[in-house]
Structure formats: C-alpha cells, structure tokens
C-alpha cells in the first residue's frame, strides 16, 4: 500500500494519476496547506523540502518502506516499480524523458509563479505577468508542434503525458481562447481525459481551498 500525501493541485493530481494508471493501491493523505501541515515535523520527515506531493511505499523493494517526493521522481519510481507507462523502446523512452523534463522544469514552475502572482498581487498587469504569459504560450506552442507529429509525446501513452496533462487543463481556462490556437494539444488533451484512470486521478484528492 502506498500513502499519497497531496492535495488537488496540478502536482497532486499528477501523482494520483500515476498511481491510478500503474494500478498501485494507495491511500490519499490530504494535507491542509493553509494550516501549514506541509511544514509540520511529521511531513518534513517524509519530504524535507516541505512540498506536496510525496508518497510512502510501505511495500518497496525487499519489503522495505520507500519515500519519494518531487513529481518526476514519483512518476519514474512508479514506472520502475510496475513496469508500466515507460516505453520499452529506448528512442521512445528518451522522448518521454525529454518532454517530461520540459514540463517539470519549465512549464510547471512558470505556471506556478503566474498563479501565485495572480492570486496575491492586486494589480495583475505589468511586465512580470506579461513575460510569464509569453513563456506559457511558448511552451504550449512547443508541445503543440510535438503533438502534430505524434499521437502522444513519446509516440505511445507514457508518464510524460501524465506530467503534462494536469498542467495543460489548469492553464486552458485562463487563456484568452483556451486551447483553440492549439488543435493538436486539444486533441491530445481530449484523448488523455477519456482514460478512466486519468479521470479517477484527477478527482482523487480534495481541491485546494
């Protein structure tokens, strides 16, 4: 059994989808971020960075308990544990690594900063938000171009698609025209959304209040 410490943010949904898609039994352990439960000693013992999500696998290798944090690390651990969502072909695996890294290192942080500014800064105009907006457009266009070439980011459905999907669906409502300028990204998003495990993962955790 795996304990999932998270809330219904993009990152929390990503981890939940990975657990659903890989068929791992898990128990959601929602944290109240407003109360600072992610900074409590009990959680810092699991993730010293004090961020969600994190998982505790009580049936790890050799029956040992394994703790994993950071979304990409969780995804790769679950792929290794189950043999699922990881392309067998090395070239496709490299594609999955690359696009997952773009999501984790670029798109997700950009969206997080933009969200925090919009929520906490009274005047949401100005060069900072304009710059972040252009960066979001840039990354979405990059994914759009990739998905013009292939059905999924690594050719087949993989952990890379899971890394990107929750971010894209959270971004879309804040774009002037949604995903309309990105028809391949829209087609891909619809295909990912139709997967039962993705739907379960998207709704597995309470939303951020």
- Evaluate whether residue 205 is within a structural domain: no
Burial 148-175, CB ≥16 within 10 A → b, else e: eeeebbbebbbbbbbbbbbbbbebbeee
Mean pLDDT, to the nearest integer, of 144-159?
A: 98
With tokens 């994190």, the residue in question is 54
Same domain for 101 and 58: no
Phi-psi region at 63: left, alpha or beta (left = phi > 0; alpha = psi -120 to 50): left
pLDDT value of position 13? 97
pLDDT (average), residues 44-53? 97
Q: How confident is the model at residue 129 (pLDDT cuts 50, 70, 90)?
A: low
Q: What is the CATH number of the domain that holds 17?
A: 3.40.30.10
Structural domain boundaries enclosing 46: 2-85
Domain boundary among 85, 108, 133: 85
What pLDDT is recorded for position 89? 96
Best-predicted range by mean pLDDT among 115-129, 134-148, 153-167?
Answer: 153-167
Asked if residue 53 has pLDDT above 70, the reply is yes
Residue with tokens 């800064």: 121
* Domain end residue (candidates: 85, 108, 136): 85
Same domain, 114 and 47: no
Containing 168, the helix (H) or strand (E) segment is helix 159-171
pLDDT of amino acid 131: 66
Q: What is the mean pLDDT of the chain?
A: 91
How many independent structural domains does the chain possess? 2
Is 120 found in the same domain as 46?
A: no
Residue 206 within a domain = no
pLDDT at 110 over 80: no
Answer for the pair 186, 143: CB distance below 8 angstroms, yes or no. Answer: no
Q: Which of 85, 120, 142 is the last residue in one of the domains?
A: 85
Please state, in angstroms and rounded to a whole number, the distance separating the CA atoms of residues 107 and 109.
6
Q: Band of the pLDDT at 145, cuts 50, 70, 90?
A: very high
């Amino acid at each position: 059994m795996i304990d999932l410490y998270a809330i219904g943010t993009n990152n929390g949904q990503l981890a939940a989808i990975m657990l659903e898609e890989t068929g791992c039994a898990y128990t959601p352990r929602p944290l109240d971020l407003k109360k600072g439960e992610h900074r409590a000693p009990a959680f810092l013992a699991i993730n010293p960075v004090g961020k969600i999500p994190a998982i505790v696998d009580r049936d790890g290798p050799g029956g040992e308990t394994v703790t994993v944090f950071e979304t990409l690390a969780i995804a790769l651990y679950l792929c290794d544990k189950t043999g699922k969502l990881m392309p067998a072909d090395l070239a496709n695996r490299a594609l999955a690594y690359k696009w997952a890294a773009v999501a984790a290192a670029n798109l997700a942080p950009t969206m997080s900063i933009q969200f925090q500014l919009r929520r906490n800064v009274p005047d949401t105009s100005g060069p900072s938000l304009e710059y972040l907006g252009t960066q979001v457009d840039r990354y979405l266009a990059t994914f759009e171009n990739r998905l013009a070439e292939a059905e999924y980011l690594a050719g087949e459905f993989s952990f890379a698609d899971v890394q990107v999907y929750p971010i894209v669906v959270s971004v879309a409502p804040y774009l002037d025209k949604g995903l309309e300028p990105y028809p391949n990204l829209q087609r891909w998003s619809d295909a990912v959304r139709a997967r039962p495990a993705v739907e379960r993962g998207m709704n597995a955790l309470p939303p951020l209040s």
